[in-house]
């Protein structure tokens, strides 16, 4: 997703902007650029490619000045190219503007502007914004931006500088995230907090419709209604250290190994031997609630599939799980008797945010389980459970997924308590076993790392493979397949083990890898039959199983064993080899593990 950075201060803007853009690289991009004002001289350098390419250009033409904006572009409209990269400028070269989001009515606006004589040099929707600004600006930037807003449909976080006001950065937010950072004699702007943690931990998170004016020594915030308001300063409990690799080769590996700490932090915050401390769940619960909907995208959606089993088994509640981008276009039965759980690491996924708003519009109460307090989803929900995973930088989500599972385990237990569906003795056993998870995760990581390297050596030579399981294990297989696909670019498909023989088994031939997951004792014999069907066709089967579920290991070409664990809680262990298989396979193939092609960390467009 695009990244925006801005600086107003006494130090050189170019250096700060480049550092900030490096911190935004993880969002995914294909071109970059900056604009710096030196008095009334507008200096713009931008290009397709990585920040290294931009730095090469800047070595030929260093930019002087103490105020500027920067951008990393993740192409939506128009191919990656120098002309399509941001910042974009008006016909006179007076303004420079950067944007994250999608302007849905840009074609009609562009036609009107071209008819009015504006000449365009890119295919982007963003360039329409700066020419429209040029068209409506009558001397007051705030009034001009408000008039611009009236004409726009879609989502935007934008920043703009004007060579006639070289001491100001203007910023506007509508449905795409934008934060203001407050410094000493300098102020900052960025798409997200991790980009600024080296400079500050004090933030104002812009709300939809809010407009900000940044100068080196002051910021002004204007509400959607137009009145000037006090900045609502938020002190981030993340620090700069948390967004560094700390000796790991990739953020993804660091975040895989952070999972024991993340789960321990969550349990310490929300659980002790005697009770689940989730007042957010208690406050949102009502006895009239008779069904739950979980909605999310990608890995967060797959955590919701696990959550369904947990909530149905612990709270005896019917649970539906819907992909957010699908929920909006299907008949749904949401009403005031529904509880909607929204899962999102970033809290900014556009499809998930739209699904949340739909659920609320139908009268459903909404509980957000998110890793980003202050995000759009956190602010729109009725109640929020903080996943406390710390900043997750790698595009492939790992520790946030484990945090989601843990938060769902706790939510299931809490709902079980509230609905008195479980005897206290059983609840106590469940709580005790949850408290053991951090140690089990550490043990599992130590136990499986080498086996996963060995398996990855095999997988790297195959362009397609299958992940199979039944019930909870199928939900986990889906996450395993996604992890492998998104960072190794090999095709993988998750399949309910019992379903293979209904067609897909036709694809299994000599050597095809099949990863089979076993954590539910009652389903082992059935899944073993499916494994035998695969073996009979020459498939190569790698088992991932919790200790004690499988006696006869002869059937498998490789056996990856995890510590014994309560079947309901096994997901946070099973996902570890799935993550490591993906990581080592991608590493073998020299893929861009933290920043896989075509993908973004937070998908803030629909």
Contact 186, 12 (CB under 8 A): no
279 CB contacts (<8 Å, ≥6 apart)? none
Contact 597, 489 (CB under 8 A): yes
User: Closest separation between CB of residue 604 and ligand AGP, Å?
Assistant: 9
Query: Residue 302 and residue 85: Cα distance in Å, rounded?
Result: 34
CB-neighbour burial class of residue 554 (10 A; exposed 0-12, middle 13-18, buried 19+): exposed
User: Closest separation between CB of residue 29 and ligand AGP, Å?
Assistant: 15
User: Closest separation between CB of residue 309 and ligand AGP, Å?
Assistant: 19
**Considering beta carbons, is residue 484 or 515 the nearer one to ligand AGP?**
484
440 is an active site residue? no
Which residue in 509, 519, 373 sits closest to 497, CA to CA? 519
How is residue 15 written in tokens?
């250096």
Query: Residue 305 and residue 322: Cα distance in Å, rounded?
Result: 9
Rounded (10°) CA dihedral 282, 285, 291, 297: -60
Query: Residue 448 and residue 444: Cα distance in Å, rounded?
Result: 6
Which helix or strand (DSSP H or E) is residue 201 part of? none
Residues pairing with 95 in the sheet = 162
Which helix or strand (DSSP H or E) is residue 495 part of? strand 491-496
User: Closest separation between CB of residue 404 and ligand AGP, Å?
Assistant: 8
Query: Residue 133 and residue 148: Cα distance in Å, rounded?
Result: 6
**Considering beta carbons, is residue 325 or 527 the nearer one to ligand AGP?**
325
**Considering beta carbons, is residue 349 or 411 the nearer one to ligand AGP?**
349
Query: Residue 331 and residue 325: Cα distance in Å, rounded?
Result: 13
**Considering beta carbons, is residue 352 or 585 the nearer one to ligand AGP?**
352
Contact 5, 24 (CB under 8 A): yes
Q: Is residue 547 classed as helix, strand or coil in its secondary structure? A: coil
Query: Residue 366 and residue 384: Cα distance in Å, rounded?
Result: 9
**Considering beta carbons, is residue 210 or 486 the nearer one to ligand AGP?**
486
User: Closest separation between CB of residue 121 and ligand AGP, Å?
Assistant: 32
User: Closest separation between CB of residue 368 and ligand AGP, Å?
Assistant: 10
Chain-centroid distance, C-alpha 507: 33
Query: Residue 178 and residue 543: Cα distance in Å, rounded?
Result: 44
> Taking CA 293 as the corner, what is the angle to CA 574 and CA 606, rounded to the nearest 5 degrees?
85
Binding site for ligand AGP (CB under 6 A): 297-300, 344-346, 349, 352, 395-397, 486, 602-603
Q: Closest residue (Cβ) to ligand AGP?
A: 298
**Considering beta carbons, is residue 300 or 339 the nearer one to ligand AGP?**
300
Contact 103, 129 (CB under 8 A): yes
**Considering beta carbons, is residue 10 or 597 the nearer one to ligand AGP?**
597
User: Closest separation between CB of residue 303 and ligand AGP, Å?
Assistant: 9
Query: Residue 428 and residue 245: Cα distance in Å, rounded?
Result: 38
**Considering beta carbons, is residue 216 or 322 the nearer one to ligand AGP?**
322
User: Closest separation between CB of residue 4 and ligand AGP, Å?
Assistant: 18
Which residue in 93, 84, 5, 78 sits closest to 42, CA to CA? 93
Among the options 2, 297, 452, 565, which is catalytic? Answer: 2
**Considering beta carbons, is residue 174 or 345 the nearer one to ligand AGP?**
345
Among the options 23, 168, 254, 601, which is catalytic? Answer: 601
Instruction: Identify the DSSP state of 175.
Output: B
Residues pairing with 48 in the sheet = 31
How is residue 438 written in tokens?
């951090």
Rg of the chain on CA atoms, in Å: 25
121 is an active site residue? no
**Considering beta carbons, is residue 396 or 477 the nearer one to ligand AGP?**
396
Instruction: Identify the DSSP state of 195.
Output: G
Alpha helices by DSSP H, 370-520:
376-380, 399-418, 424-435, 437-459, 472-488
User: Closest separation between CB of residue 403 and ligand AGP, Å?
Assistant: 10
Query: Residue 576 and residue 444: Cα distance in Å, rounded?
Result: 8
Residues involved in catalysis: 2, 601
């Amino acid at each position: 997703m695009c990244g925006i950075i801005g600086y107003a201060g006494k130090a050189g803007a170019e250096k700060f902007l480049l550092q900030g853009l490096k911190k935004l690289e993880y969002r995914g991009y294909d071109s970059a650029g900056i604009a710096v004002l030196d008095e009334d001289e507008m200096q713009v350098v931008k290009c397709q490619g990585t920040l290294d390419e931009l730095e090469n250009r800047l070595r030929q033409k260093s930019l002087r000045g103490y105020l500027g904006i920067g951008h990393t572009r993740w192409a939506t409209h128009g191919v990656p190219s120098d002309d399509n990269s941001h910042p974009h400028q008006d016909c006179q070269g007076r303004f420079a503007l950067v944007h994250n989001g999608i302007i849905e009515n840009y074609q009609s606006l562009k036609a009107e502007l071209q008819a009015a004589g504006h000449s365009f040099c890119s295919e982007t929707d963003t360039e329409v914004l700066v020419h429209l600004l040029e068209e409506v600006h009558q001397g007051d930037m705030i009034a001009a931006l408000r008039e611009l807003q009236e004409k726009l449909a879609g989502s935007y976080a934008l920043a703009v500088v004007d060579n006639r006001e070289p001491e100001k950065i203007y910023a506007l937010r509508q449905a795409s995230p934008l934060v203001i950072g407050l410094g000493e004699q300098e102020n900052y702007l960025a798409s997200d907090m991790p980009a600024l943690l080296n400079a500050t931990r004090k933030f104002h998170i812009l709300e939809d419709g809010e407009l900000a004016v940044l100068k080196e020594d002051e910021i002004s915030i204007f509400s959607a209604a137009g009145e000037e308001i006090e900045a609502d300063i938020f002190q981030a409990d993340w620090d700069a250290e948390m967004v560094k690799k700390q000796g790991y080769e990739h953020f993804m590996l660091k975040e895989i190994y952070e999972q024991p700490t993340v789960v321990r932090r969550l349990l310490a915050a929300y659980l002790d031997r005697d009770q689940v401390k989730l007042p957010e769940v208690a406050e949102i619960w009502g006895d009239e609630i008779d069904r739950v909907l979980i909605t999310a995208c990608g890995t967060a959606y797959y955590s919701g599939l696990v959550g369904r089993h947990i909530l149905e088994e612990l709270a005896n509640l019917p649970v539906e799980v819907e992909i957010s981008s699908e929920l909006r276009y299907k008949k749904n039965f949401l009403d005031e008797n529904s509880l909607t759980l929204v899962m999102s690491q970033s809290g900014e996924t556009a499809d998930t945010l739209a699904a949340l708003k739909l659920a609320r519009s139908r009268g459903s109460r909404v509980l957000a389980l998110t890793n980003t307090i202050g995000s759009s989803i956190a602010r729109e929900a009725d109640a929020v459970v903080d996943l406390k995973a710390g900043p997750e930088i790698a595009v492939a989500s790992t520790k946030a997924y484990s945090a989601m599972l843990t938060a769902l385990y706790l939510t299931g237990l809490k709902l079980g308590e509230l609905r008195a569906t479980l005897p206290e003795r059983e609840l106590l056993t469940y709580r005790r076993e949850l408290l053991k998870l951090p140690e089990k995760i550490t043990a599992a990581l130590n136990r499986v790392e080498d086996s996963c390297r060995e398996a990855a050596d095999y997988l790297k030579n195959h362009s397609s493979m299958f992940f199979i399981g039944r019930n909870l294990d199928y939900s986990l297989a889906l996450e395993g397949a996604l992890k492998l696909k998104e960072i190794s670019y090999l095709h993988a498909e998750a399949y309910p083990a019992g379903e293979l023989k209904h067609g897909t088994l036709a694809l299994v031939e000599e050597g095809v890898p099949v990863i089979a997951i076993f954590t539910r004792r009652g389903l082992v014999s059935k899944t073993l039959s499916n494994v035998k069907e695969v073996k009979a066709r020459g498939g190569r089967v790698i088992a991932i199983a919790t200790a004690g579920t499988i006696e006869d290991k002869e059937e498998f070409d490789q056996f990856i064993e995890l510590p014994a664990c309560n079947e309901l809680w096994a997901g946070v262990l099973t996902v570890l080899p799935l993550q490591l298989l993906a990581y080592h396979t991608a590493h073998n193939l020299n893929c861009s593990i933290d920043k896989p092609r075509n993908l973004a960390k937070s998908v803030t467009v629909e």
